[in-house]
Homo-oligomer: A and B are copies of this chain.
Amino acid sequence: MSAHPDTALYLARLERRQPFSERARQAFLALPAQRQCVAADHDFVREGDRPIYSSYLKEGFVSRYKTLRDGSRQIVGFHVPGDMVDLQSALVIVADHGIYSHIACTLIAFAHDDLLDIAEAFPEVGRAFWFDTLSDAAVFREWTFNVGRRSAPKATAHLLLEMHYRFAAIGMSDGESFELPVTQADLADALGISAVHVNRSLQSLRAERLIRTFRKTVTIENMARMIDFAEFDPAYLHPEGPRQVRAARDHRLFNGVRPELRPTASGI
């Protein structure tokens, strides 16, 4: 186990909006990492596992899920290439959900200990991890909303739009089409409805000329009407990345009062 050339991919992702210091970058590239290949249709993390590494998804498509005694499954999130699949587990001992590969995946695994160490040594790295977790959390909130309060057709449309935006952000969508490697039964588990009802929801979207599908490829026929129908607002995906550190934010007012004698964190 030693440094791996693909680590640079993950580094680039973390630095997307906010470059690291040169020392942090070098330390990051030196992290021991391991390439993992997972075949399609595998539960490669299970609820109750105690994973000791987190993985960057280089290629593939995975879901996180929870299951009930009777076998019913709720998918609580999808991951596309470029996502950190399981940073969630770095600070926690026992996984509270499973991870499933819908297609063959290649991942780059980092030991939790190493991730925690580097976050401790370089605050900008810790902040990037924090932002990643926060970004995931925003998606979970939106899913709760989707599952709880939108009708099946609207929830389906909303999920398709989310996936469209996420694939577009990594260059895996032309303006309107993308490949979504899941079955209707998987969509059902993500939407909290039955597979039969997913089928009928998709039919209604097709009848409204909002989408077309061919094999696993989804085409959004009328983006504007689709966005309106689903009440989709991409803000929760935080495409703009995290706030910048110290970018013209020194003269900000707080509660309308300019702080003249504010003690500062670094002034100790």
Taking A149-B192, A235-B94 as contacts, is the C-beta distance between A263 and B138 under 8 angstroms? no
A140 contacts across to B, CB distance below 8 A: 137, 140-141, 143-144
Taking A126-B119, A265-B118 as contacts, is the C-beta distance between A91 and B242 under 8 angstroms? yes
B64 touches A141 (CB 8 A): yes
B30 touches A96 (CB 8 A): no
Most chain B Cβ neighbours within 10 Å, of A73, A77, A140, A192:
A140
Give the complex CA separation of A235 and B83 in angstroms.
25
Q: Is A150 positioned at the interface, with any CB of B under 8 Å from its CB?
A: yes
Stretch of A160-168, A212-220, A254-262 on the interface side: A254-262
A158 to chain B, nearest CB (A): 11
A138 touches B88 (CB 8 A): yes
Question: Contact check: which of B94, B97, B240, B268 meets A27 at CB < 8 Å?
Answer: B268
Q: Is A78 positioned at the interface, with any CB of B under 8 Å from its CB?
A: no
Give the complex CA separation of A53 and B257 in angstroms.
13
Residue in B closest to A228 when the chains form the complex, CB atoms: B69
A268 contacts across to B, CB distance below 8 A: 23, 26-27, 30
A127 touches B120 (CB 8 A): yes
Residue in B closest to A116 when the chains form the complex, CB atoms: B245
Question: Contact check: which of B74, B118, B149, B254 meets A145 at CB < 8 Å?
Answer: B74
Residue in B closest to A28 when the chains form the complex, CB atoms: B265
List chain A positions with a Cβ less than 8 A from chain B: 1-3, 23, 26-27, 30-32, 34, 52-53, 64, 66, 68-69, 72-74, 76-77, 88, 90-94, 96-97, 109, 111-114, 116-124, 126-127, 129-131, 133-134, 136-138, 140-145, 147-150, 191-192, 231, 233, 235-236, 238, 240, 242-243, 245, 249, 252, 254-255, 257, 259, 261-268
